[in-house]
Amino acid sequence: MALSDFDLVLFGGGGDLAMRKLLPALYNRERSRDIPQAARIICVGRHPWDREEFLGEVDRNARPNTASGTPDPAVWDAFCGRIDYVSVDAADAGSYQALAQALRPSGVTRVFYLATPPSLFAKICHNLSECGLATPESRVVLEKPLGRDLASAKQINAEVGRVFSESQIFRIDHYLGKETVQNLLALRFGNVLFEPLWRREWISDVQITIAEELGVGNRMDYYETAGALRDMLQNHLLQLLCIVAMEPPVSATPDAVRDEKLKVLRSLKRFTPHLIAQNVVRGQYRSGHVNGTPVPGYRKEQDANPNSRTETYVALKAEIDTWRWAGVPFYLRTGKRMADQLAEIVVRFKTIPHSIFAQPHRSFQANSLLIRLQPDEGLQLNLMAKTPGDNMRLRPVELELDFRETFKMPRMDAYERLLLDVLRGQLTLFMRSDELEAAWEWVEPILDYWEQEGDEPMPYTAGTWGPAAASALIGRDGLQWREEALPEE
Ligand code: BG6
């Protein structure tokens, strides 16, 4: 669907997200000729740059982040031609006049993208409304963190909701923009093969991992107040869990999909202190080696609190109390400075009930479906097959689908995809307020427990798969994390 003409206003336009992700994503769409000729990108920030100075910033900081790092000069010039910069103090309604002058009065889609700290969301929305800029047709995009607990998430929803209706609000979770996440929807609801098996009778357990080799970089200020549970699990991992576990929605319309995701969040077994002690592991990295390079421990990173209790790793066992999923554990984990950089979902099926072959039953590996989100995007179905030869000997084999190989087409970055959806007014891949609150409601007992108990996160060596307690967590159920079950190389 072609885009209609737009004015896209980027609050935080000179910031890290704009330079690293948003402007490069828009440039890529420029290159694909998706952007209407008259469309404009109005970057807003406090810094008193004039337009030329700001374009210098874009050249230095956004240009290297475009797909090749060396954009086509003519396309880059055309792209920069759309960019304007307006200096606004987000908290001062008076300074919005300059923005009002930069916007076209009507007839174009108007989007306000708030890539700012959430403490500014309410102020910005209020001031946009005061200055008559928040028209009923305009849209607002909210970047995470969307709160730090249930109360603050509710407050953000209420304050933004005073100015914009739910259908105008786009809450970004960039994991939902990843190609393989949408492919998971295609896999589940575009094929008959899996649906009959997608339930407790046939699935033994599900593992969802987002592992990062990176540390906290220059985001210590934010990270120290967030930690892995707030930064990754409450949003990205729970959204992935919802896509794996939801019932078939009646259509792919925004509310049909979001209703089903909400039901999953509401059916998650509530955590009690006893369950948290048993089923949640939090860790913090100590110094170690990542890819052969020595790295400091979290407490020794630049600007770190040497006594920090912030977790850089979390693993937990979740359960979904529904007919489809009762008794199927969902193991979720994420961490920084881990042994690998990957995001993947493993759906493990049950073992065969009985072996008709001479080979003992326990030598049959359970079937599993590996859904790889990154670094490569693909699917791997693990089956048992006969080895060639005279005797009937079976061993595990892999059916691979590599999306890059299969679809020899350029891939869209998650932000590219989501920005296009915002500009088209397509809400399916954005979180609704009730989803956001249900996710906070579920994780909040864990946050409270950690706060009350005040105990230390478990140390793990940078460049490993996390604390030993995480292996014990899954090991108690007679299972292993995927990498632990792989044969030694
Ligand atoms: C962000 C987190 O939401 O996701 C970061 O704030 C994290 O801490 C990032 O590094 C991971 O995203 P991706 O797409 O690189 O896996």
* Domain membership flag for residue 108: yes
- On whether both 22 and 83 belong to a single domain, the answer is yes
What's the CA gap between 400 and 392, in Å, rounded?
24
What's the CA gap between 283 and 228, in Å, rounded?
9
Identify whether the C-beta of residue 312 lies closer than 8 Å to the C-beta of residue 261.
Answer: no
- On whether both 205 and 249 belong to a single domain, the answer is yes
* Domain membership flag for residue 167: no
pLDDT in tens, 85-96: 999 999 899 999
pLDDT of residue 282: 97
Q: Count how many domains the chain has.
A: 2
- On whether both 137 and 242 belong to a single domain, the answer is no
Ligand 1 within 6 A of CB of 212:
yes
43: closest CA among 61, 65, 70? 61
Beta strand pairing call for 83-87 and 109-114 = unpaired
What CATH number has the domain bearing residue 321? 3.30.360.10
Place of tokens 């670094």: 375
412: closest CA among 34, 61, 15, 7? 34
Atom of ligand 1 nearest to the CA of 414: 14
Identify whether the C-beta of residue 198 lies closer than 8 Å to the C-beta of residue 458.
Answer: no
**Is 274 considered catalytic here?**
no
- On whether both 199 and 331 belong to a single domain, the answer is yes
- Among 118, 143, 168, the domain boundary falls at 143
62: closest CA among 88, 49, 80? 80
The rounded Cα 169 to chain-centroid distance in angstroms is: 18
- Among 125, 143, 161, the domain boundary falls at 143
- On whether both 333 and 473 belong to a single domain, the answer is yes
Instruction: Enumerate residues 6+ apart whose C-beta is below 8 A from 291.
Output: 213, 463
SS3 percent helix, strand, coil of the chain, rounded to 5, is: 40, 20, 40
pLDDT in tens, 193-225: 999 999 999 999 999 999 999 999 888 999 999
Ligand 1 within 6 A of CB of 231:
yes
- On whether both 189 and 115 belong to a single domain, the answer is no
Identify whether the C-beta of residue 138 lies closer than 8 Å to the C-beta of residue 108.
Answer: no
pLDDT of residue 54: 97
Residue 126: how many other CB atoms lie within 10 Å: 17
pLDDT of residue 82: 97
pLDDT in tens, 165-179: 999 999 999 999 998
Question: 215 C-alpha vs ligand 1 centroid, how far in Å?
Answer: 11
Ligand 1 within 6 A of CB of 413:
no
* Domain membership flag for residue 424: no
- On whether both 232 and 369 belong to a single domain, the answer is yes
The domain in which residue 288 lies consists of 176-411+432-485
* Domain membership flag for residue 156: no
Binning pLDDT at 50, 70 and 90, where does residue 1 land?
Answer: confident
Phi, psi of 2 (to 5 degrees): -70, 150
Question: 364 C-alpha vs ligand 1 centroid, how far in Å?
Answer: 37
* Domain membership flag for residue 134: yes
Ligand 1 within 6 A of CB of 179:
no
- On whether both 252 and 390 belong to a single domain, the answer is yes
Identify whether the C-beta of residue 460 lies closer than 8 Å to the C-beta of residue 466.
Answer: yes
Phi, psi of 477 (to 5 degrees): -95, 10
Q: Is the pLDDT of residue 487 over 80?
A: no
- On whether both 138 and 186 belong to a single domain, the answer is no
- On whether both 104 and 187 belong to a single domain, the answer is no
Beta strand pairing call for 293-295 and 313-318 = unpaired
pLDDT in tens, 123-162: 999 999 999 999 999 999 999 889 999 999 999 999 999 9
Identify whether the C-beta of residue 382 lies closer than 8 Å to the C-beta of residue 367.
Answer: yes
Atom of ligand 1 nearest to the CA of 374: 16
* Domain membership flag for residue 83: yes
* Domain membership flag for residue 291: yes
Identify whether the C-beta of residue 483 lies closer than 8 Å to the C-beta of residue 465.
Answer: yes
pLDDT of residue 434: 98
pLDDT in tens, 246-287: 999 999 999 999 999 999 999 999 999 999 999 999 999 999
Q: Is the pLDDT of residue 292 over 80?
A: yes
Question: 218 C-alpha vs ligand 1 centroid, how far in Å?
Answer: 13
pLDDT of residue 489: 58
Stretch 347-368: mean pLDDT:
92
370: closest CA among 412, 401, 331, 332? 401
435: closest CA among 170, 227, 126? 170
Amino acid 314 reads V
Query: Active-site residue among 236, 274, 354, 361?
Result: 236
- On whether both 124 and 180 belong to a single domain, the answer is no
What are the tokens at 11? 């609050």
As a whole number of Å, the CA-based R_g of the chain is: 24
Identify whether the C-beta of residue 404 lies closer than 8 Å to the C-beta of residue 374.
Answer: no
Q: Is the pLDDT of residue 488 over 70?
A: no
What CATH number has the domain bearing residue 99? 3.40.50.720
- On whether both 195 and 77 belong to a single domain, the answer is no
Q: Is the pLDDT of residue 297 over 70?
A: yes
Percentage of the chain exceeding pLDDT 70: 99
Q: Annotate 284-331 with three-state secondary structure.
A: EEECEEECCEEECCHHHCCCCCCCCCCCCEEEEEECECCCCCCCCCEE
What's the CA gap between 60 and 54, in Å, rounded?
10
pLDDT in tens, 71-122: 999 999 999 999 999 999 998 999 999 999 999 988 899 999 999 999 999 9
Atom of ligand 1 nearest to the CA of 216: 8
What's the CA gap between 184 and 182, in Å, rounded?
5
More confident residue, 262 or 363: 262
228: closest CA among 448, 447, 481, 375? 447
* Domain membership flag for residue 157: no
Identify whether the C-beta of residue 141 lies closer than 8 Å to the C-beta of residue 226.
Answer: no
In eight-state DSSP terms, residue 19 is I
What's the CA gap between 449 and 272, in Å, rounded?
9
pLDDT in tens, 38-71: 999 999 999 999 999 999 999 999 999 998 788 9
What are the tokens at 58? 């874009």
What's the CA gap between 318 and 275, in Å, rounded?
10
